[in-house]
Amino acid sequence: MPDTSVMIRDTAKKLLVEKRVDLIIGFERGTLPLRSTPCFVRRSVEAEKLIWNASCENNLARYLRKRKEKVGIVAKGCDTRSIISLIKEKQVAREQVFIIGVPCHGMIDRRKIEAKLDGREILEADEVSEKVILKGHDFTEIVAKEEFLHNSCNTCNYRNPVIYDVLIGDKVEENRGIDEYGEVKEFEAQSADRRWQSFTNEVSKCIRCYACRNACPLCYCQECFVDSSQPRWIGKTTNLSDTSIFHIVRAFHTAGRCVDCGACDRACPMGIDIRKLTKKIEKDVKELFHYQAGVNLEDVPPLATFNLGDPQEFIK
């Protein structure tokens, strides 16, 4: 079977040459080990730089909105779920997007590898099937990819694209036997004090850079509540009261929309466990409203429906 990168390139070239799309959004080689970077290809010759590997971690659906041209997008399972959410929210028209679906084995969390290396810098990283060979100043280490995947990849049930116009390669086996909400359940089992403590411990690291918000394909409010000056909902400091409100309200705003792609977690430079909140809300929505965002184009989002039978136990 040909290499995934090669197949993506060939598909992209064909789409551009046949003028079926004006732009391909994909990944190219990054400047650091274990880094790929989003790239925008408009001419077929440039398609040569497209790649695929376990560091294509960004959710490219973030770049789809407000485009006039027809776009081809390289999309993992989670990315296609975001695209579905965007289509449902009428931010993207289905016919405007050509989805180049890529089955995914999970993306590497380089911070986990860095933590393992404890300060030794990775100068070179090569992916060889299930392993990564890491080279530094005076060391070589071989690690298994699956031990260093992003948290959202570890609990992912949609490794294969949910919708696509073309699928690159064969479908992969979905995660089996994992408890998607294992961590959430542990969190829920804690006392309110413990939960609050662990939440505040996380958000106290926040520097209000908004990388989480800006990396999220679904955080597209024309004016985010944190930026509103009339009225002003929230202070601008990094005091715990302000950072808490930011993260709580953002999490709530993703209810029934978040597809748990992990883009917020990956973007956060301070390593805040942002998913702890969003995943919990995702679980609640699933349990209370039997809805999961981005798994098909048909289900109506809970915030867009009215149903007399809605559970309302939370109204006390």
Partner 1 sequence: MKNPYLPLAMRTEKIVIETDDKNIKTFSLSFLNEEDESSFNYLPGQFVQLSVLSEGEAPFGIASSPTQPGELEFTVNKIGVLTTALHNLEKGAIIGIRGPLGNCFPIEAFEGKNIVIVSGGFAFTTLRSLLKYILYEENRSKFGNVTVIYGARRPGLLLYKDELKEWEVRPDLDVHLTVDRADDGWRGKVGVVPNVIKEVAPSPENAYTVVCGPPIMIKLTLPVLRQLGFPPERIILSLEMKMKCGIGMCGRCNIGNKYVCKDGPIFTLAHLNELSGEYKPGGRNFETKK
Partner 2 sequence: MKEMKIAKNELVSFLDSLISEYKVFAPVKRDGFVVFQEIYSGSEALLVYANSKKPPKEILFPQSEVLFTYRLGGEGLGIEEPTFKDKQMVIFGIRPCDAKSLVILDDIFNSQVYKDVYYIAKREKTLVIAIGCNRPSSTCFCTSLGGGPFSPDGSDLLLVDIDHEYVVQAVTEKGKQFLKKHSEFKKVEEHSLSLMRSVIETAGVLIKSKVETGEIKKKLDVMFDDPFWDWLHEKCLDCAVCTYLCPTCHCFDITDEALDQRGERVRIWDSCAFPMFTLEASGVNPRPTSKERTRQRIMHKFKYFVDNHDMAACVGCGRCIKECPVNLDIRTVLNSILNR
Q: Which residues bind partner 1 (CB under 8 A)?
A: 229-230, 232
- What's the rounded Cα separation, in Å, for the pair 78 and 153? 9
Token pair 């089996």: residue: 176
State the minimum distance, in angstroms, from the CB of residue 89 to partner 2.
20
E strand or H helix at 24, and its extent? strand 23-29
Of 291, 303, 272, whose CA–CA distance to 199 is shortest?
A: 272
Judge contact between 158 and 77, C-beta under 8 A: yes
> From the list 4, 10, 22, 30, which residue makes contact with partner 2 (rule: CB under 8 A)?
30
Contact 233, 193 (CB under 8 A): no
Q: Quote the Cα angle for 47-9-161, to 5°.
A: 120
- When asked if residue 250 is in the footprint of partner 2 (CB under 8 A), the reply is no
Q: Angle 301-68-82 (CA atoms, 0-180°, nearest 5)?
A: 30
Rounded alpha-carbon distances, angstroms, from residue 138 to 33, 126, 141, 238, 273: 16, 16, 10, 40, 32
Out of partner 1, partner 2, none, what residue 301 binds, judged by CB under 5 to 8 A for its kind, is none
121 binds, among partner 2, partner 1, none (CB under 5 to 8 A by kind): partner 2
* Residue 238 makes contact with partner 2 by CB under 8 A: yes
| Binding of partner 2 by 19 (CB under 8 A) | no
Q: Find tokens 């398609």 and name the residue.
A: 47
The residues with which 98 forms a beta bridge, in sequence order, are 72
Residue 54 CA to its chain's centroid (Å): 14
Q: Can residue 38 be called a binding residue for partner 2 (CB under 8 A)?
A: yes
CA 42 to chain centre: 24
Q: Does 225 contact partner 2 by CB under 8 A?
A: no
According to CB under 8 A, which residues from 147 to 206 bind partner 2? 205
The count of residues interacting with partner 2 (CB under 8 A) is 37
215 binding partner (options partner 2, partner 1, none; Cβ < 5 to 8 Å by kind): partner 2
Question: Quick one: 157 or 204, whose CB is closer to partner 2?
Answer: 204
Which entry of partner 1, partner 2, none binds 133, CB below 5 to 8 A by partner kind?
none
Interacting span for partner 2 (CB under 8 A) from 88-96, 114-122, 278-286, 303-311: 114-122
Indicate which single residue of 6, 17, 93, 115 sits in contact with partner 2 (rule: CB under 8 A).
115
- Site membership for partner 2, residue 220 (CB under 8 A): no
Closer to partner 1 by Cβ: residue 117 or 234:
234
Cβ neighbors of 22 (< 8 A, separation 6 or more) are 16, 42, 69, 70, 71
Residue 237 or 305: the one with the smaller Cβ distance to partner 2 is 237
Between CA 258 and CA 264, with CA 260 as vertex, the angle to 5 degrees is 90
68 binds partner 2 (CB under 8 A): no
Catalog residues that contact partner 2 under the rule CB under 8 A.
30-32, 35-40, 58, 62-63, 115, 119, 121, 123, 137, 205, 207-211, 213-215, 227, 235-239, 266-267, 269-271
